[in-house]
Structure 1
Amino acid sequence: MVVLISNWSSVQSLPESYVFPPDRRPGTHEIPASNDIPIIDLRKIDGPDRSDIVQQIITASQDFGLFQVINHGVSRDLTDQTMGVLREFFAAPAEFKARFYSNDLNSSCRLYTSTLNYENEEFHYWRDNLTHRCHPIEDHIDHWPENPLHYRKVVAEYSIESRKFLFTILELICDGIGLETGYFEGEMSKNQLVSVNHHIPCPDPSLTLGMPEHCDPNLISMLQQGDVCGLQALKDGQWIGVEPLPGAFVVIPGLQLRVISNGKLASAVHRVVTDSKRSRTTIGTFLNPSNDILIRPADGPISSPAPVYRGYTYKEFFSAFTGNNCEAESTLRCFKL
C-alpha cells in the first residue's frame, strides 16, 4: 500500500496533502516537556501510602486529565519486547502489511494511515496505525499478524498485563470518588483495543500533525511512549509536552469517566506532533464499554447536588462523537440535562 507512510523509503519534502492550514499547524515554536505533569508511583499501593496515591490520581485527573505512572507492575522486559515486535511490523515489506490494510471500523485487526476516512479527508495526518481487538484474547488472536516472530505471544501477554494495570488504576479511582469495588468491571470495560501509532521522520514538523487534538471517547487509555517526544496536552489554553519517561505509562481518563464522575474528573485534550529526525512508535491500550450498556453519572455523593448528564448507551455516545467531528464539548452537550 503506497499510502502507508511506513512504506516510503525516503521523503525529501512534505507532500501537499499533509500540509495543514496555517491556523491548524503546530508551528516552529518548540514546546518543551512540562515538569508539572503528575508522576504516580504505584510501588506502595498495598501499604499505608495507598490513600495518598489515590488522592494523587484523583487530583491529577481533575487538574490535568492525565498522569504518568511508574512502578506499575508490567515488566520492562515485556514492554521492550512489545515495542520491538511492533517496530518490526511497521518495517516489514509493503506486500506483507497490505494483508492487514482496512478502513472497516469493525475489523478485528486493521492497518490504516492518517484516519479511517483517508480517501475523503482534506488533509492527512502523518501516521500509520495498527489497531486490533484483544479481549478476550482467544476470540481475536487468530486475526493478528503472525510475523514478526513471537508477535502473537508477546502482544497477547502485553494485552493481559496492560488490562490488569488499567483495572488497578480504575479501582484506585473507585476508592477516590466513592464507587463500589468492581464498578468498572464487566460490560463497562468489555472491549479492549491495542492501537499502535507509527510516525516516520517528517521533513517539516511545523506544517503537519501526527494526530489531531482530541479527547478519548472511551473509558480509560494508557500509552507507552517509547523514547521520542511528540505527545502534547492542552493545559490552561497552552500546549505542554508530555516527556517520555523510561518504563512509564501515560494514563488518560476517557470521556466516559468524566460522565460517570458527573464532571468531577477531566479528560485531557491532546495531540501528537512529528519529529524531523527519528521515527516514533507508541502503544496505546484502550478500554471501551460495550455498545449497549447504559452509562450515566454514578449514584451517591458524586452526583450531588444533581446529575449533570442523562443516561445513554456507548453506541449512542460514539455516534454523536463521530457526528460532531470527534469534538468532546459539542458531544457532551448532547447529553447534558
Structure 2
Amino acid sequence: MELVSNLPVYRTVPEKYIFPPDKRPANDTVNHSINLPVIDLKGGCIDSDGRDEIIRDIMKAGKEFGFFQVINHGISTKTIDNMLEVCENFFKMPAQEKEPYYSNDMSKAFFLNSSTQYDKSQTRYWRDYLRITSYPIEEFIDQWPEKPEEFREVLSKYTLRVREFASKILKLIAEGLGLDKDYFSGDLSKGNIKMEVNYYPPCPDPSLTMGLLPHCDRQLITVLAQGTAATGLQAKYKQKWINVKPIPGAFVVNFGHQLEIVTNGILKSVEHRALTNSTVARTSIATMTMPTMDCLIAPAKELVNEKNPPMYKEFIFRDFIKAYDAALANREGVLEFFKLY
C-alpha cells in the first residue's frame, strides 16, 4: 500500500513524484486577474422574482467558463465542514487502519488509492483519494468504513443535501436552455451518486509535482467542496489557467462531458487540474451526478435544427465510460469517439 499520506516528512520530493520539466505546472501561464463567477442562490429558496436573474447568471457563467461558485445555497457551513473534517480524519488514521480499504477494484462502493488511474507514466501524483458510491444510501452504507466513528452518519447527511442541491442547479440550467425544468430529472441524473475525496498532503517542492492531471469530468455535473486551507484547483480559461480561490462555505460547480453533449456544445466541459502546496494539507470532495449506465445520451432534440445540427451521435452511457477510460480522461481524445463532425 503506497499512500502519500503515509510518507515520512521529506525535505525534498522523492524521484517518483517529480514530473518532467515540460509537464510541470510552473511552466504554464496562469491568469491571476480572472476569478470564477459567484452565483448567489439567496439561501436556496429561489422565488419567482429572483429566479430569472439567477438563471441568467448561471447560463452566462456556464457558457463562458463551464465553472462557477455558488454561495447561500441552503446547506449549512457546518454540514460541509463536518464532511471535510471526517474525511481528513480518515486519511490521518494509522496506516494499518486504512490498509483494509486500499484497492484497485473500481467496482467497490468504497476504496482508497493514490495517484491516478488515468496516467500510465511512472510518475506518481502527490495525491491520495477515496472513491465512494454514496447513493442510494441504504444500498451502500454497510460498505463504508466504521472509522472514524461518525463517518457514515456525516456522509449520509452530506449526500442527501448535495444531491438535492445538484438537482436544483440542473433544473435552473434546464430552464436557462429553454427545456422543461425536469429535463435532467430522469435517467440522465438517476445513476448512483459517486464521490471522490482528494487529499493532498504538504509537498516539499510543489513546482516539481502535480496533485491531479488536467482532465474533464465524465458525468453530468460535479459539485465540489474544496475547503479553505489553500488554493489548489485551477480551471482552463482561454488557453490559460486560472486559480479557483476557495470561498468559505461555497460549492464549485462544473459541467461534465454529458452536459456538453446533451446541450450540443452550448455548455462546455472544461479542463481542470489540482496543484500542491508546501504548507498545509488540502482536502476536496467532488460529488458527481451520473446518468444510469444504460441511459441513452444524445443532444436534446429541442436544441438542434438545420442551422444547429447535432454535433454528437447517440450512445449508451456505459459505452462512454469505456471510451473515457481508453482515452485516459483526455478531453479531445474521449469526445473524438462521439463527434459527428
User: What is the TM-score when the length of structure 2 is the normalising length?
Assistant: 0.94
1:232 aligns with 2:227: no
Q: 1:288 Cα shift?
A: 1.2
Amino acid at match of 2:175: D
Identity %: 42
Amino acid at match of 2:315: Y
Amino acid at match of 1:141: I
Aligned residue in 1 for 2:181: 181
Matches within 5 A, 1:1-337: 1=1, 3-27=2-26, 31=30, 34-43=33-42, 45-116=46-117, 121-189=121-189, 190-227=191-228, 228-302=230-304, 305-337=308-340
Contact residue 296 and residue 316 of structure 2 kept, 8 A: yes
Query: What is the CA–CA distance in structure 2 between the aligned matches of 1:30 and 1:230, rounded to whole Å?
Result: 15
For 1:116-169, what per-residue CA distance to the aligned partner results, in whole angstroms no more than 9, with x for missing partners?
378x64111110001110110000011111111211001110011000000000
Query: What is the CA–CA distance in structure 1 between the aligned matches of 2:56 and 2:277, rounded to whole Å?
Result: 35
Q: 1:188 Cα shift?
A: 1.4
Q: 1:35 Cα shift?
A: 4.5
Contact residue 220 and residue 254 of structure 1 kept, 8 A: yes
Contact residue 34 and residue 241 of structure 1 kept, 8 A: no
Q: Which deviates further from its counterpart, 224-233 or 9-18?
A: 9-18
Aligned length: 335
For 1:184-217, what per-residue CA distance to the aligned partner results, in whole angstroms no more than 9, with x for missing partners?
2232121211210001100111111000001111
4+ runs of 1 displaced by more than 2 Å?
28-36, 301-305
For 1:77-98, what per-residue CA distance to the aligned partner results, in whole angstroms no more than 9, with x for missing partners?
1111111111110100101110
Q: 1:30 Cα shift?
A: 9.2
Contact residue 39 and residue 70 of structure 2 kept, 8 A: yes
Q: Which deviates further from its counterpart, 123-132 or 8-17?
A: 8-17
For 1:48-85, what per-residue CA distance to the aligned partner results, in whole angstroms no more than 9, with x for missing partners?
11111101111111100100000111111111111111
Contact residue 33 and residue 243 of structure 1 kept, 8 A: no
Identify if the C-alpha distance between structure 1 residues 30 and 261 changes in structure 2 by more than 3 Å, giving closer, same or farther: closer
Identify if the C-alpha distance between structure 1 residues 12 and 36 changes in structure 2 by more than 3 Å, giving closer, same or farther: closer
**Unpaired runs of 5+ in structure 2?**
none
For 1:291-315, what per-residue CA distance to the aligned partner results, in whole angstroms no more than 9, with x for missing partners?
2111000111455531111100111
| Aligned-CA RMSD value | 1.7
Query: What is the CA–CA distance in structure 1 between the aligned matches of 2:35 and 2:77, rounded to whole Å?
Result: 25
Query: What is the CA–CA distance in structure 1 between the aligned matches of 2:8 and 2:16, rounded to whole Å?
Result: 18
Contact residue 104 and residue 116 of structure 1 kept, 8 A: no
